[in-house]
Structure 1
Amino acid sequence: MAERVVDGTVDVLLTGPVFFDLVMTGVAGAPRPGTEIYADALATSPGGVANLAVATARLGLSTSLAATLGDDVYGRWCWEFLGDREGVDLGRSRLVPGWPTPVTVSIASGDDRSMVTREEPSPFTAAELVGDGTRARAAFVDLGAARGGRGDDAWWRTAAHAGTKVFADLGWDATERWDPADLGPLADCFAFTPNETEAMAYTRTDSAAAAARALAERVPLVVVTRGEQGAVAIDAARGEEVTVAAVPSNGRDATGAGDVFGAALVYGTLHELPLADRLSFAALCAALAVEHAGGAVGAPGRGDLADWWQHTRDGADRELARRFAFMDDAFPEASGRRRAELTFPFADYGSTAARRSNPEKRGTS
């Protein structure tokens, strides 16, 4: 269960688009015009910011999501999955008749994936959805959305000044200019989590470590992710630099792995884990996520993590067991939330929470 909300303050506040993801795995290359290819498996999942919402909720963090979903079969299924099955607070979200829920088809082939997305601009800004009086211990912000003219930073800047720890990402610069001016908003952020390609491009450096050191002059916590090479982080306030290796996994689908890493990083930060343990924990959660198809549905819960630790603690890899010895205190028993089944039931949605809810109370336009 999520941790108790005290005085209206949630652990994590999230904004951004929610997608209905259709994920096909085990595809042997991309189809050519006029041809047909087959996938080994199919998964459905809420995507986009829902990856973060599910990942934080499954770790036990009280999570509030401010997002727009269409009042169609895709949006109502995502609403039910997030609210009823995962316990995400949707009080700031809206079901909008006549607006289509964004849909992404993700094709996983080998170690990579390609995507096709259909999305219309949201009829509401993030600030309109969040409203006034927001209280959260942590929040995520997509600075790339602001760079592309799709963001609204008033809410998160206000939250940051009120004490919310803002974790920022920037994403790929489609112009490939990598303008350092885009890093200006980091002055109001607590943490920045780019991948190594993005970090080196923005800082004009030639290594993840050098990029992290340059970025640490702008923000208190920098974490540069390196995929199968792990991650490097700098806590500027403590003058601490840490590099961790990735956690071995049987990778199947990387959809949402970065979001799971970020969610675990927030968990470790809010629970004041040492920096090395925080990064190792985030790497573990990402490794477990890629072993399952789909983004949100593959995010590990506390029960999955406890299962992994019991198996690892009693296994032959003593170095890995020593690295994760902190898990004895964090997850002492194999209990808690676990992954969901990969299903998309075409049930009677008239009985779902979304249809039962009063549109006025839900803020539906």
Structure 2
Amino acid sequence: MSTSSEDAPAFDVLLAGTVFFDIVFTGFPHPPAPGTEVWTTGMGSSPGGIANLAVATSRLGLCTGLAAGFGDDLYGDWMWQVLRDQEHVDLSRSRRFHAWHTPVTVSLAMDDDRSMVTHGHPPPESVAALLDPPPPTRAVLADLGDPEVRSADWWRTAAAQGALVFADAGWDPEQVWDRRILTDLADCYAFTPNAQEAMGYTRTDSPQAALRALADHVPLAVVTRGHEGVIAIDSATGEEAEVPALDVAAIDPTGAGDVFAAALVLGTVRGWPLTKRLRFATLCSSLAVQQFGGSLAAPGWGDIADWWRDVRTRADAGESSARETAGAYSFLTDCLAGMTTRRVRRAEATIARFSDADLASPDAEPPTAPSSGL
């Protein structure tokens, strides 16, 4: 997707949605029960919601534009600063709203799953209005499970202008699995549900059958299966692939799917083969679940470099599983060449004023425009 500087899109990725102030609790000795108090061993605060995707794409070097509403309260101030100044997300299409308070989510991460409690109100102005018309972009990430997103024109307009739309639909708590979502996929390049969602929307009884049904609707169909890995079909290239999950000690699954999608976008706009894209996305999401805090758990290239160095060290020491992993991920050596591996900030138990990310080397510049090399 190489373009000249004169006609290059304004963004690599364009996003729109709601930003939540997330408070994530981890390390429960036992589940909380009514009338009791539970002390946990971990807690993190971070921007959440659509910010999970924004941080994940930006940390991978994709020039990211976000359209979202922000309150003018303390939470809103902090998240605006984190996303714009620390994570280098372009907020020129976002707005601050006076006297509108930031939506808040408390997430309880237990046993590789989570429960959430949320409070908030609709923003004074529709997010879709902030993208009328949308700026040029290489890719769009859209949640079709959100009725407001499904009814919006901005992402369809972006698709008509050449953007690749990567769609997800999310969990249907009523498990109705509205099949009209499949009709909406006509304007999408990729669909990335998990296995249960994929089977629900396609009315099939196995992830493999769901994948083949979805491949009739989008060029790139991807079904994630948790610890069983991921399967996908790229109809445009004729590729089919299955990639196993990496064995990691997960502490918080919040945002893992968003990190997977972000990495998949990067691999797609770089023109990688399907298996390589899936392995890279699997790695990034595996790194994310080992941190807590949703958006700020997303890996940067420094985290990827650290993981790759550790795998090669163990492989050189004769560890058989590490040798197998090193062979599967040998492409990382080329991917990491020339990449800036600046430090990234993790979620902290409070709204932190300072971060060790500020100690990054002075040559760690944020992505300011789409690169023709993507």
Please say whether Structure 1 and Structure 2 have the same fold, judged by a TM-score greater than 0.5: yes
Query: Are residue 175 (structure 1) and residue 174 (structure 2) matched?
Result: yes
Once residues 338 and 211 of structure 1 are traced to their aligned partners in structure 2, the CA distance between those partners, rounded to angstroms, is 39
Q: Which amino acid aligns with 1:18?
A: V
Once residues 151 and 118 of structure 1 are traced to their aligned partners in structure 2, the CA distance between those partners, rounded to angstroms, is 23
Once residues 164 and 312 of structure 2 are traced to their aligned partners in structure 1, the CA distance between those partners, rounded to angstroms, is 33
Aligned 8 A contact 1:125 1:152 in 2: no
Q: Which moved more, 1:21-30 or 1:86-95?
A: 21-30
Task: Please list the CA deviations of residues 64-100 of structure 1 after superposition, one character each: whole Å capped at 9, or x if unmatched.
Answer: 0000011111111110000000100000001111111
SS in 2 for 1:120: coil
| Residues 331/206 of structure 1: CA separation in 2 closer, same or farther (3 Å cut) | same
Once residues 77 and 83 of structure 1 are traced to their aligned partners in structure 2, the CA distance between those partners, rounded to angstroms, is 10
Once residues 5 and 106 of structure 1 are traced to their aligned partners in structure 2, the CA distance between those partners, rounded to angstroms, is 43
Displacement of 1:347? 5.3
Task: Please list the CA deviations of residues 332-351 of structure 1 after superposition, one character each: whole Å capped at 9, or x if unmatched.
Answer: 36842333043344659xxx
SS in 1 for 2:84: helix
1:324-335 alignment, distance < 5 Å = 324-332=329-337, 335=340
Once residues 110 and 174 of structure 1 are traced to their aligned partners in structure 2, the CA distance between those partners, rounded to angstroms, is 20
Aligned 8 A contact 2:250 2:289 in 1: yes
Aligned 8 A contact 1:302 1:337 in 2: yes
1:1-365 alignment, distance < 5 Å = 7=8, 9-146=10-147, 149=148, 151-316=150-315, 317-332=322-337, 335-343=340-348, 344-345=350-351
Task: Please list the CA deviations of residues 21-68 of structure 1 after superposition, one character each: whole Å capped at 9, or x if unmatched.
Answer: 001101133322221111111101100110100010000000000000
Task: Please list the CA deviations of residues 201-221 of structure 1 after superposition, one character each: whole Å capped at 9, or x if unmatched.
Answer: 111222211111110000100
Q: Which moved more, 1:294-303 or 1:126-135?
A: 126-135
What runs of 5+ residues in structure 2 fail to find an aligned partner? 316-321, 355-374
Q: Which amino acid aligns with 1:158?
A: T
Aligned 8 A contact 1:64 1:89 in 2: yes
| Residues 321/116 of structure 1: CA separation in 2 closer, same or farther (3 Å cut) | same
Task: Please list the CA deviations of residues 242-288 of structure 1 after superposition, one character each: whole Å capped at 9, or x if unmatched.
Answer: 11001121211111001000100001101111100100000000000
SS in 1 for 2:79: helix
SS in 2 for 1:69: strand
Once residues 287 and 346 of structure 1 are traced to their aligned partners in structure 2, the CA distance between those partners, rounded to angstroms, is 25
SS in 2 for 1:292: coil
Once residues 214 and 191 of structure 1 are traced to their aligned partners in structure 2, the CA distance between those partners, rounded to angstroms, is 13
Aligned 8 A contact 1:298 1:339 in 2: no
Displacement of 1:8? 5.1
Once residues 124 and 337 of structure 1 are traced to their aligned partners in structure 2, the CA distance between those partners, rounded to angstroms, is 36
| Residues 330/138 of structure 1: CA separation in 2 closer, same or farther (3 Å cut) | same
Q: CA RMSD in A?
A: 1.9
Task: Please list the CA deviations of residues 213-239 of structure 1 after superposition, one character each: whole Å capped at 9, or x if unmatched.
Answer: 110000100110111111000001222
What runs of 5+ residues in structure 1 fail to find an aligned partner? 349-365
> Which residue of structure 2 aligns with residue 354 of structure 1?
none
Taking structure 1 as the reference length, the TM-score comes to 0.90
Q: Which amino acid aligns with 1:66?
A: A
Aligned 8 A contact 2:105 2:117 in 1: yes
Displacement of 1:5? 8.3
Aligned 8 A contact 2:134 2:154 in 1: no
Once residues 69 and 36 of structure 1 are traced to their aligned partners in structure 2, the CA distance between those partners, rounded to angstroms, is 32
Displacement of 1:124? 2.0
Task: Please list the CA deviations of residues 139-180 of structure 1 after superposition, one character each: whole Å capped at 9, or x if unmatched.
Answer: 11111112xx56542000011011000000111223322232
SS in 2 for 1:261: helix
Q: How many residues align?
A: 343
| Residues 10/242 of structure 1: CA separation in 2 closer, same or farther (3 Å cut) | same
| Residues 213/8 of structure 1: CA separation in 2 closer, same or farther (3 Å cut) | closer
> Which residue of structure 2 aligns with residue 355 of structure 1?
none
Taking structure 2 as the reference length, the TM-score comes to 0.88
> Which residue of structure 2 aligns with residue 358 of structure 1?
none
Aligned 8 A contact 1:300 1:338 in 2: no
Aligned 8 A contact 2:167 2:192 in 1: yes
